[in-house]
Structure 1
Amino acid sequence: AIEHARDTLAGAYRAPDRVGRPRALPARLRAASRDLLVSAESWRYGLRLALCIGLAQVLVSAIDVPRSYWVPLTVTFVLKPDFGSVFSRAVLRALGTAAGLVVAGAVLEFVPRGGWEVPIVVVLAAGLPTVSRRGYGYQTAVITPLILILSDMLSHQGVHLLAPRLLDSLIGCGIVLVAGYALWPESWHTRVGARLAAAVDDTARYIECAFDEHTDQAARARTRRRIYRDLSAVRTEFQRALGEPPPAGARAAAWWPLLVAVERVIDTGTAAAVHTAHGAPPPSPEAAAHIATELRALATSMRTGKPVVPADPDAAEHTPDALTDVRREVRSTRSLMDGPGPNDPSPPR
């Protein structure tokens, strides 16, 4: 006890890491900066944005466009792949702007100046957070009249603001659809399968370390957090892909049953590890290794589109243990993968 107190006061004592603490902030900042600079996705997004902004600037320089700064602004607001489908955002931006201009036109034409616009601005601003949760189109339909009414308070141009705003928004959306979407083949495909396969691979790694007595608790916690981060990335990609036009959207929807099945595998695997940590009999190392091999076979099938090859098709039924539920969910997932054939129009291949 005296030595422990001495080490604590001297700063030499380090509490055991039981929760898998993240690395120090400088190390995480260096890793994030490195990923940002060398990530292929970051470079592709930068090229797409630079191309669209460049085209917008060339276009507004070549032709007379009133309030030309709205064109590159529209490009910047729409071309955000992390916020959803670029195609859907461009279409919703155009439709929302058109709907908002109808509201703005009515206000600018029929509401007298001199302070009568203020209650309308208050109502629009108060409703903006609510409608933003309903979708990007609703958000645009509310923010467009709000901005135009505020602009009219300064410029007093009235309904003459409407046509330039519509023209600039349509030009910006058109540039994004052509130069920021149609010219990039990766926009036509979904990455749901690849990200789901990565989550399954990490699940196999977690099953191995969760039931390995030589793996410390911190490593298990870090691996568990990683698979749930993978799941979050899969859900984000799935939601983005659903907004793409056919056939990408339909292909993404076909992954939904597998996404649910993989989530069940991960949840049952985590529950089994927790039960074992709280005193339940652990499974044998062979059983954990068999589950991990089955999961890696599933991940390979998701990447290649080929049928799942069982890790040990001649293996006898395992005796009930902590991994019984996991084994059942893995078999269920494998049956989904083996269900539709490769020529079926709706398989998640």
Structure 2
Amino acid sequence: MAVAEAAVNGLTLSRSYWVPMTVAFVLKPDLGSVFQRAVSRALGTVLGIAVTAVLLALTTDARALSVVVSLCVALLPYSTAAHYGLNTAVMTPVALILVQLGGESGAAEFWPRMLDTTLASAIVLVFGYLLWPERPPHRIEPGIVTAATTVRAYLAAVVRVEPVAEVWLRRTAYRALADARRQVELGLAEPPPADRLAEQWLPATAALERLSGAVAAYAAQLRYGGREPEPEVIDRVLRSLDRLTGAARAHRPPSGRAPRPTGPHDPTRSALARAADELDQLLAD
């Protein structure tokens, strides 16, 4: 925001407030990839200006333009859910047509709008993204550590047969796994090297998700299925989780690849044993 204010104070812009306003809208890492939002904002604005130019070339009647604005506003909830760039493309005609309905020329704002949005997107890309190349790993790998740690605690509670702790830890593990998955998916939307790192951690995230399901199934087998505890399998899983946690803390994504299950689970083996095999293959050097 400071860079945006400095830029508008040093340049002659007709709508200078659009620059910091756009920076504030785009620079929101908690809502997705900053890179993707900046590019989508610029492209969506260009598309929205093109649509508005066609509309104003066809008519400047206030009633017709009011109908167009109403339709765009009705589309906003759907465009917002679909894609940020599409949302910008729908919102841009609303802003420009409202200028036209206010008694000024909407067409006169085409170039200022495009210039201000492009400038703001460039500021975000340079000062809010490119200067911080290490931020994505600092979001992905701590999420993996938290997820692996909570799944480990969940498994330990299942083995100790502590129902209250087990229920609470299962919910905690599921939340941590959802957060880890979200961070990986956000990383996949970034340009290199962040997307490559996210892709490397994706198999581990999927393995942890399947492991949490296996632990839940194993708990049911112990409690209701008459299955005897398997100390060797439990130790294998706990050791693998410790190794995975250490790898994430050391910024070393697993190099192994565990194939996804292609058939039904073998009922003669516990769900945990199958998960232990997958972790061993994932962590194989």
TM-score, scaled relative to structure 1? 0.72
Please list the CA deviations of residues 190-225 of structure 1 after superposition, one character each: whole Å capped at 9, or x if unmatched: 633332232112111111112213x3x322211111
Q: CA deviation at 1:287?
A: 5.2
Say whether the 8 Å CA contact 1:190–1:241 is kept in structure 2. no
Say whether the 8 Å CA contact 1:196–1:234 is kept in structure 2. yes
Q: CA deviation at 1:110?
A: 2.3
SS of the residue corresponding to residue 156 of structure 1 reads coil
Q: CA deviation at 1:323?
A: 7.9
SS of the residue corresponding to residue 66 of structure 1 reads coil
User: How far apart, in 1, do the equivalents of 2:208 and 2:67 lie?
Assistant: 51
Please list the CA deviations of residues 6-33 of structure 1 after superposition, one character each: whole Å capped at 9, or x if unmatched: xxxxxxxxxxxxxxxxxxxxxxxxxxxx
User: How far apart, in 2, do the equivalents of 1:166 and 1:232 lie?
Assistant: 38
- In structure 2, do the counterparts of structure 1 residues 97 and 90 end up closer, same or farther at CA, with 3 Å as the change threshold? same
Say whether the 8 Å CA contact 2:240–2:283 is kept in structure 1. no
| Counterpart among 217, 234, 238 of residue 180 in structure 2 | 234
Q: CA deviation at 1:326?
A: 1.3
Letter in 1 for 2:222: T
Query: In the alignment, which residue of structure 1 is the partner of 2:27?
Result: 79
- In structure 2, do the counterparts of structure 1 residues 335 and 231 end up closer, same or farther at CA, with 3 Å as the change threshold? same
Query: In the alignment, which residue of structure 2 is the partner of 1:313?
Result: none
Say whether the 8 Å CA contact 1:190–1:248 is kept in structure 2. no
Query: In the alignment, which residue of structure 2 is the partner of 1:331?
Result: 277
Query: In the alignment, which residue of structure 2 is the partner of 1:140?
Result: 88
Matched, 1:205 2:150: no
Q: CA deviation at 1:167?
A: 1.1
| Counterpart among 109, 130, 155 of residue 78 in structure 2 | 130
Query: In the alignment, which residue of structure 2 is the partner of 1:4?
Result: none
Please list the CA deviations of residues 56-80 of structure 1 after superposition, one character each: whole Å capped at 9, or x if unmatched: 1121122211111111110011000
Matched, 1:269 2:269: no
- In structure 2, do the counterparts of structure 1 residues 87 and 190 end up closer, same or farther at CA, with 3 Å as the change threshold? farther
Query: In the alignment, which residue of structure 2 is the partner of 1:246?
Result: 192
User: How far apart, in 2, do the equivalents of 1:158 and 1:279 lie?
Assistant: 71
User: Larger radius of gyration, structure 1 or 2?
Assistant: 1
Say whether the 8 Å CA contact 2:48–2:92 is kept in structure 1. yes
User: How far apart, in 1, do the equivalents of 2:240 and 2:193 lie?
Assistant: 30
User: How far apart, in 2, do the equivalents of 1:133 and 1:83 lie?
Assistant: 12
| Counterpart among 18, 24, 43 of residue 70 in structure 1 | 18
| Counterpart among 31, 44, 56 of residue 96 in structure 1 | 44
Q: CA deviation at 1:286?
A: 6.5
User: How far apart, in 1, do the equivalents of 2:99 and 2:279 lie?
Assistant: 56
Higher mean displacement: 299-308 or 170-179? 299-308
- In structure 2, do the counterparts of structure 1 residues 82 and 337 end up closer, same or farther at CA, with 3 Å as the change threshold? same
Please state which structure has a larger fraction of its residues in helix. 2
RMSD: 2.5
- In structure 2, do the counterparts of structure 1 residues 289 and 254 end up closer, same or farther at CA, with 3 Å as the change threshold? closer
TM-score, scaled relative to structure 2? 0.87
Higher mean displacement: 140-149 or 286-295? 286-295
Q: CA deviation at 1:178?
A: 1.1
- In structure 2, do the counterparts of structure 1 residues 208 and 292 end up closer, same or farther at CA, with 3 Å as the change threshold? same
Q: CA deviation at 1:106?
A: 1.6
User: How far apart, in 1, do the equivalents of 2:10 and 2:254 lie?
Assistant: 55
Query: In the alignment, which residue of structure 1 is the partner of 2:69?
Result: 121
Letter in 2 for 1:202: T
Letter in 1 for 2:102: L
Say whether the 8 Å CA contact 2:200–2:254 is kept in structure 1. no
- In structure 2, do the counterparts of structure 1 residues 105 and 306 end up closer, same or farther at CA, with 3 Å as the change threshold? closer
- Matched length: 274
SS of the residue corresponding to residue 63 of structure 2 reads coil
Higher mean displacement: 222-231 or 197-206? 197-206
Say whether the 8 Å CA contact 2:140–2:183 is kept in structure 1. yes
SS of the residue corresponding to residue 185 of structure 1 reads coil
Query: In the alignment, which residue of structure 1 is the partner of 2:263?
Result: none
Q: CA deviation at 1:160?
A: 0.4
Unaligned runs of 5+ in 2: 256-265
Q: CA deviation at 1:280?
A: 3.2
Matched, 1:158 2:96: no
Letter in 2 for 1:263: E
Q: CA deviation at 1:246?
A: 1.6
Say whether the 8 Å CA contact 2:136–2:187 is kept in structure 1. no
User: How far apart, in 2, do the equivalents of 1:66 and 1:283 lie?
Assistant: 73
Query: In the alignment, which residue of structure 2 is the partner of 1:283?
Result: 229
User: How far apart, in 1, do the equivalents of 2:113 and 2:275 lie?
Assistant: 54
Letter in 1 for 2:202: W
